[in-house]
Chain A
Amino acid sequence: MSETFELRSGETHIEVYKFLPGAVVAVTVAALVFQASVPVYFSKLEILDLPLLVTVYFGLSRRNPSTGLLLGMVIGLSQDALSGPTVPLGFYGIAKTMIGYLASSIGARLDTEHPAARFALIFSFFVLHQAMLGLIRRLLLAQPETWFNLHLAIAAAVNALFGTVLFVALDRLRRSS
């Protein structure tokens, strides 16, 4: 079932999706576990940021900024907690809170169902996420951090590509109308 709400008068109708019970929690936990454990065995997969992709997906789908930022905060803080003592609580939390809020806000205005749009959005959110992490690391932690380089560009492209595929899979968790 899909529900349709008129978010802004005079504009096209944007659908707000709901998911199967427990889907959001299960996907979030799975993403965090994957991020924490799989790179131990497959270091190449470290380039993926599944918690970020999940945050972006549910933000774009739910299209509610409050829900999006709270989900981003929970995911980010969980990632902080799983990242060991060298990462202070709030490091990923702040960045993913912002990403969740922005994804929800953009999702409420744009059609984010098209794969190309999803690729561009994921790429942009990855870059923005890295920029915010760099900002936090520089300003709050007083640690040197590279703003952007080729590795990050490749990581953004890989995550965007993988996210586009992942989003299609996650679409199956949407509650049918």
Chain B
Amino acid sequence: MVAIASKHKSLALLGGVLLAQILMLAVQIKRDSRGRLIRVWAISAAYPFERGGAWGYGKVRGVWTHYFALQTTSRENEALRMENDALKLTIAQLQSRAAEADRLAALLSFKQSHQEVPMAGARVIAASAGTASRTIEIDRGERDGIRRNMAVITPDGAVGKVIEVYRDSAQVLLLTDKDGGAGAMLVESRIQGPVGGTGDPTMLMKYVASEEKVNVGEKIVTSGMDKIFPGDIPIGTVMEVKAGYPFKQIRVQPAAKLDQLEAVIVLLTQAPVEFKKDADTQNAQTGAQPSEPGAQNPAARAPAAAKKP
């Protein structure tokens, strides 16, 4: 028993002494590119633990991040959702401004192409409070030269007339109002008759004899006979024709978008206005020479010629 204990003791001593000398050797030995051997051994011995530690830390962190730290994720999600809503709102505002810019650009283009006609651009600031009437309020008034019964149009067509004028604003009665209307004329057949509102989004053309031939899709323009609207301003398109006696029932789709009005033009005169076609408007925008009035629409040329002395 004593011998066995002594043997183990000497073995332990042998191991310790050898280990100490090996370490001493390792401290002295220097490998060419990897530094001292003791450093190589130390790094090699520590590498598995370091790698294991890094792996374990990554796993623990991953579990924490993906499973336990969802509170932060939830907050981030909520913040992102709010940011997304704000961005949507911003986009909607920008789209609205872009549309408004388009409309204003169209108005400006129209004004530039009709520089000989005195007119004033106006912004729609209010609409009728109830459904009984179809009116709008614009931000131009007496100080801007606005007077009652002046025609209000858009580049698309006739809108209505001024019915009340205040110092800095005015009220416009739309063509679609029950009391609204304008002297009109079918472009192709040259048949004249007043167009008035019914309180609906559409209008009616009245007093067209039942024997007259009216086609659906036919254009209607102002006749100039009402002393409010100059001639040849688009009013709308025939959308439905019903037989009647003694007059036809002709339903008209307004040319101007009367339910989406944001900017309008007030004609400051009742002198005849030559309402140019799109091509002419584009030519005016690009600086090209406009074509001869009525050259593209022989039907429109007739009343203009008829008005000339």
Contacts and interface: CB of A to CB of B under 8 A. Distances in A.
A142 interface: yes
Interface string B206-228: 00000000000000000000000
Given A66-B10, A101-B10, A73 B17 contact: yes
Interface string B1-24: 001001101110110011001101
Interface in A106-124: none
B3 A65 contact: no
A161 B92 CA distance: 107
B31 interface: yes
Given A66-B9, A101-B14, A93 B29 contact: no
Interface residues of B, number: 19
Interface string B100-111: 000000000000
A90 B14 contact: no
Contacts of A89: 21, 24-25, 28
A141 B73 CA distance: 56
B10 A73 contact: no
A7 B3 contact: yes
Interface of chain B, main secondary structure: helix
Nearest to A136: B25
A39 B14 CA distance: 31
Contacts of B10: 64-66, 69, 101, 104-105
B3 A97 contact: no
B14 A88 contact: no
A142 B26 CA distance: 12
Contact of A88 (B6, B7, B17, B25): B25
B273 interface: no
A172 interface: no
- Interface size class on chain A is 20 to 34
A160 B37 CA distance: 35
Contacts of B6: 65-66
Interface string A63-107: 011100110010001000000000011110110011001001100
A176 B220 CA distance: 148
A136 B31 CA distance: 14
B279 to A, nearest CB: 92
B17 A140 contact: no
Given A65-B11, A69-B10, A97-B17, 12 more contacts: A65-B6, A65-B10, A65-B14, A66-B13, A88-B25, A88-B29, A94-B18, A94-B25, A98-B14, A98-B18, A136-B25, A140-B37
**Complex A-B, nearest 7 residue pairs according to Cβ-Cβ distance, in ascending order:** A65-B10, A90-B21, A90-B25, A88-B28, A66-B10, A90-B24, A93-B21
27 contacts: A8-B3, A64-B10, A65-B13, A65-B14, A66-B10, A69-B14, A69-B17, A70-B17, A73-B21, A88-B28, A89-B28, A90-B21, A90-B24, A90-B28, A93-B24, A94-B18, A94-B22, A97-B14, A97-B17, A97-B18, A98-B14, A98-B18, A104-B10, A140-B22, A140-B26, A141-B29, A142-B31
